[in-house]
Structure 1
Amino acid sequence: MSAGLLLHRTGPSGPEVFVAHMGGPFWRNRPRAWTIPKGLVEDGEDPVTTALREFAEEIGVPAPVSGTDVVDLGEFRQASGKRVRVLAAAAPGFAVDVVRSNTVLLELPRGSGRTVEVPEVDDARWVPVAEARTLLVAGQVAAVDALLLTFGRDD
């Protein structure tokens, strides 16, 4: 299971969420290549701790909230079968100029033994929820809907 942090705010045209574009050649020029910053929950680790740690690793700055500021939106299953626990927090003043993600090693092509190091995330930004629904991997769209329901929005 993974845990992620979905930041939200009210933008000029309504609710917005902060999402990240997955790095590496597989995700380049692909639709639905955006994600909620997230990562694997380690043995015995609290999902809130995971979500805050992974946000910092993938975006390159600490999450602008504490563990007490988050609301649990629930667990969502992706097409791969991975379960993602999504925690939400308001972050109206948060901005990041440059994403400085951790990197991962990929074997290219698969089975070749040749590896390349790529950023786990190569971009991140605020987007209106309607746009997020088209950018996010399909299994995470329900988390945006849960966010709107939780905070009484019907956008």
Structure 2
Amino acid sequence: MTTKRSAGLLLFRDSGAAGLEVLLGHMGGPLWERRDAGAWSIPKGEYGPEETAVDAARREFEEELGLPPPEGPYLPLGEVRMIGGKLVTIWAVRADLDPALAVPGTFTMEWPPKSGRTAEFPELDRVEWFSPPLARTKLVVSQIPFLERLSELLKNKG
């Protein structure tokens, strides 16, 4: 069995008085609409062997936010194995982006379950900037290590 792989970009900025902020997306669809804590994600998505991880991260950023990915440099934050076994690779990139400009891609799923009807939902229904402490409370738990790695990387760069 091949391991599923996913890649993404974690945007960060220094917003002056507010300090460091990271850009997260709230997962779309009916399963997440009433959740907040643990319902936000780094823009990312799956890729296959025909694509490099960094190319997939850039493509997925554009698919999920409807905006071109920022230019680098891309700072590698490494990999984390998710609870379900998927291997996620993330790069951090310094960039500023107005969340109001995001035009998220969509996905189709059967809803309600076992109804035989399909509906289309946004991949992300909100995109917002958060301070790292607040982002920790919002992010899917398995992605928190990427926040910690970003903080460590920026601290070491001085």
State the TM-score, normalizing by the size of structure 1: 0.90
Pick aligned residue for 1:146 from 146, 149, 153: 149
Which position in structure 2 is the counterpart of 1:9? 13
- SS of 2:49's equivalent in the other structure is coil
Which position in structure 1 is the counterpart of 2:53? 47
Cα distance in 2 between the residues matched to 1:47 and 1:85:
7
Which position in structure 1 is the counterpart of 2:74? 70
Pick aligned residue for 1:131 from 129, 134, 154: 134
Paired letter, 2:146: A
Cα offset for 1:98? 3.4
Unaligned runs of 5+ in 1: none
* Aligned length in residues: 150
Cα offset for 1:74? 0.5
Deviations 1:5-40 (A, max 9, x none): 001111222211011011111001113110000001
Deviations 1:104-155 (A, max 9, x none): 11112333321111011111111101111000000001100001111217xx
Which position in structure 1 is the counterpart of 2:38? 32
Cα distance in 2 between the residues matched to 1:29 and 1:77:
26
Which position in structure 1 is the counterpart of 2:93? 89
Paired letter, 2:58: L
Cα distance in 2 between the residues matched to 1:132 and 1:79:
20
Equivalent residue runs for 1:81-120 within 5 Å: 81-91=85-95, 93-120=96-123
Q: Structure 1: which 4+ aligned runs deviate by more than 4 Å?
A: none
Cα RMSD (Å) of the superposition? Answer: 1.4
Unaligned runs of 5+ in 2: none
